[in-house]
């Protein structure tokens, strides 16, 4: 998932905006049907829940994911996975730029 560009992709223009604009993302679908989001998370703590497994590539920034059974620290260059059906806190220590793939 670490390529610099998503080739032959369609980007949904309207942003997904959460927490009064503190978290934003754009949906991307590749030509082969892969679904991803590209987003920015401003410093803070945000609660989310997954429907499907999420594979998060951290492009910039640092923080941690507080999952039910563990805490996973992350920084730029890391890839972290959140299982399907999981409620978790996304804690951003600074501005986090990410790409998320869904299974």
Residue-wise pLDDT tens digits, 18-72? 999 999 999 999 888 899 999 999 999 999 999 999 999 999 999 999 999 999 9
CATH code of residue 73: 2.60.120.10
Q: Does 30 map to a domain?
A: yes
Q: Does 4 map to a domain?
A: no
By CB atoms closer than 10 A (0-12, 13-18, 19+), residue 103 is exposed
Q: Does 85 map to a domain?
A: yes
85-103 per-position pLDDT tens digit:
999 999 999 999 999 999 7
Task: Please tell me the total count of domains within the chain.
Answer: 1
Q: Does 68 map to a domain?
A: yes
Q: Does 28 map to a domain?
A: yes
List the domain range (segments joined by +) for residue 50: 10-102
Q: Does 5 map to a domain?
A: no
């Amino acid at each position: 998932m670490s390529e610099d560009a998503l080739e032959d992709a369609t980007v949904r223009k309207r942003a997904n905006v959460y927490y009064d604009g503190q978290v934003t993302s754009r949906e991307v679908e590749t030509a082969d049907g892969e679904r991803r989001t590209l987003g920015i998370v401003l410093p803070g703590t945000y609660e989310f829940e997954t429907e499907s497994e999420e594979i998060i590539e951290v492009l910039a920034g640092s923080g941690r994911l507080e999952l039910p059974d563990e805490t996973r620290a992350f920084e730029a260059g890391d890839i972290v996975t959140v299982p399907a059906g999981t409620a978790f806190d996304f804690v951003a220590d600074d501005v986090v730029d990410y790409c998320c793939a869904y299974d």
